[in-house]
Amino acid sequence: MPEMTGVPDPETDAVLVLFRRYVDTKDLRLRDEIVAQHMYLVQAVAKKFVGMGEPYEDLVQEGTMGLLNAVDMYDVNRGIKFSTYATHLVTGHIRHYLRDRGRIIRQPAWVQELSGKITKAGDALRHELKRDPTVEEIAARLNMAPEGVQEILTARDRAKVASLDAPSTTDDEYAGPLVDVDKIRSARYATLQLPIEDKILLQEATEKLKELERKVVRYFFYHDLNQTEIARRMGISVNYASYLLRGALNKLRAAFESQSRMPEPLPEAEATPRPAQDAALGAADPATGLACAPYFEERVRQEIERAKRYPQTFAVLMLQTAESLGQPDLAAQLANVLRRSVRQVDVLARHGRTCFGLMLPHTGREALVLGERLVTSVPKAASWETLGAGQMRLAAGFAVYPADGRTAEQLIEGARGAAKRAMQSSDTVVERAERGRKSAAK
């Protein structure tokens, strides 16, 4: 992978001192400090995978876990730059995540087609001009914006480097990097011709159709066959051919409408963008902008699979409030305070009217410390009385994988039950779900 540019190099004596201190003491605060100084690596790598069907926020979280692994595994005596070492682990972690989610990392067909057109245009111009053409000259020949041509050329060069770094494999999962689609557009509009950005959208939408739907569309629009001829060619009934064509056109129309629809503004209650989620997992909580329970449970399941692949622990922490947070302003205020109190890698969600969930990667019994900090600091972080809440009272419960549970349901329910017991207790505010045994802080 090529060296990243435009960012400060953190390889300083001070950072190496931090590494040596962390190796000697295993102080988690030192690890968090190192991670914070290298988050730019995670963000840079995650941006290259935007567009693969997973939200940028989730890619950053996965990449941060790779960065945590890099910190724990880095050998300061090997003489290898940590930024180089960490970049490979972060990239690998995100690729494993995409593979586990069923995504195949390969260049789309339209990228390959554009790359071929740019090559042909460049060869033709080279023959005409008796010299290498400029990006602007190639762009003018293809009626493309110059930055679009440059984006394809850059992606092509990166793909060559990526193929050298990739392990030996028989599939395409480590094929070339992705392209910023927003840069690929026509320089000017031509009569009776779709602009290139619409052609890309149409091709991507068509590729998502079922095979029979693609065939019907191809026969109808490209071969100029009527529905009777299509039915005869495909060996199906005319009614079924009509049904397939109608369904395919509806899907293509929906793709164009969703592309042209302006995004809705974020609710005023949100201090930071809410996490993007699969529609099947439910929308974000309208009062707080946080993820809802189905999304949180799915992320815990994913973390269990990761923990099986890389032997490690993680914790689920549930934060219980004494009163129902039915008032939107109160719930939003508490959500904003919690956002500022947790790490970027942690998954924060609302879990019912009186509970918030936290999934804490690379965390075991240390969840007790975080629970103590939250239940003591959060009530002091805002003027809850002004929102009609009186004195905010919190309690926490946590469960550690695999000691306290081996499924998402066991971990979440165990942590939530522990939080309820801590709320009812007169002498503890944090409790662990490990076979009912208490780990408390007064």
The Cα 434–Cα 7 span in angstroms is: 45
CATH topology of domain 208-261: Arc Repressor Mutant, subunit A (1.10.10)
The Cα 398–Cα 315 span in angstroms is: 7
The Cα 417–Cα 399 span in angstroms is: 10
| DSSP bridge partners of 321 | 394
Q: Tell which residue, 342, 378, 386, 372, has the closest CA to residue 360.
A: 342
CATH number belonging to the domain at 279-432, selected among 3.30.70.270, 3.40.50.300, 3.40.50.620, 1.20.1050.140: 3.30.70.270
Element (H, E) at 320: strand 314-321
Residue indicated by tokens 């490690």: 312
Q: Which residues of 54-65 are buried (b: 16+ CB within 10 A; e: fewer)?
A: bbbbbbbbbbbb
The Cα 175–Cα 105 span in angstroms is: 6
Which three-class secondary structure state does DSSP give residue 395? strand
Q: So what's the pLDDT on residue 92?
A: 84
Q: CA-CA-CA-CA torsion for 151, 152, 155, 159, nearest 10 degrees?
A: -170
How far is CA 111 from its chain centroid?
22
The Cα 442–Cα 429 span in angstroms is: 6
If one counts every other C-beta atom within 10 angstroms of the C-beta of residue 110, the result is 19
Decide if domain 13-100 falls under CATH 1.20.120.1810: yes
Largest CA distance in the chain: 86
Q: What is the mean pLDDT of the chain?
A: 76
Which three-class secondary structure state does DSSP give residue 348? strand
The Cα 241–Cα 15 span in angstroms is: 65
Q: So what's the pLDDT on residue 368?
A: 87
> Quick check: 420 and 385 in contact, CB under 8 A?
no
If one counts every other C-beta atom within 10 angstroms of the C-beta of residue 162, the result is 19
10 Å CB burial of residue 213 (0-12, 13-18, 19+) is buried
The Cα 199–Cα 205 span in angstroms is: 10
The 10s digit of each residue's pLDDT in 280-322 is 444 577 878 888 888 889 889 888 887 776 667 899 999 988 7
Q: So what's the pLDDT on residue 107?
A: 61
Q: So what's the pLDDT on residue 6?
A: 43
If one counts every other C-beta atom within 10 angstroms of the C-beta of residue 34, the result is 21
Q: So what's the pLDDT on residue 260?
A: 44
Give CATH 1.20.120.1810 domain extents, the chain. Answer: 13-100
- Cβ neighbours of residue 419 under 8 Å, at least 6 residues apart? 318, 319, 320, 355, 395, 396, 397, 431
Is 0.75 surpassed by the pTM of this model?
Answer: no
Encode the chain (442 residues) as per-residue pLDDT tens digits.
344 444 444 455 677 888 888 888 888 888 888 888 888 889 888 888 776 667 778 888 888 888 988 888 888 887 788 888 888 889 888 887 777 665 444 566 677 778 888 888 888 898 899 898 999 999 888 888 888 888 888 776 655 444 444 444 434 444 444 566 666 777 665 555 667 767 777 777 787 788 889 899 888 887 888 999 999 988 999 899 889 998 888 888 777 665 544 333 333 333 334 444 443 444 577 878 888 888 889 889 888 887 776 667 899 999 988 766 656 677 788 888 888 888 777 889 988 888 899 998 888 878 888 888 888 887 776 555 554 555 677 899 999 998 889 899 999 999 999 999 988 887 778 899 865 454 444 3
The Cα 200–Cα 188 span in angstroms is: 16
Give CATH 3.30.70.270 domain extents, the chain. Answer: 279-432
Give CATH 1.10.10.10 domain extents, the chain. Answer: 208-261
DSSP state of 174: T
The Cα 71–Cα 86 span in angstroms is: 8
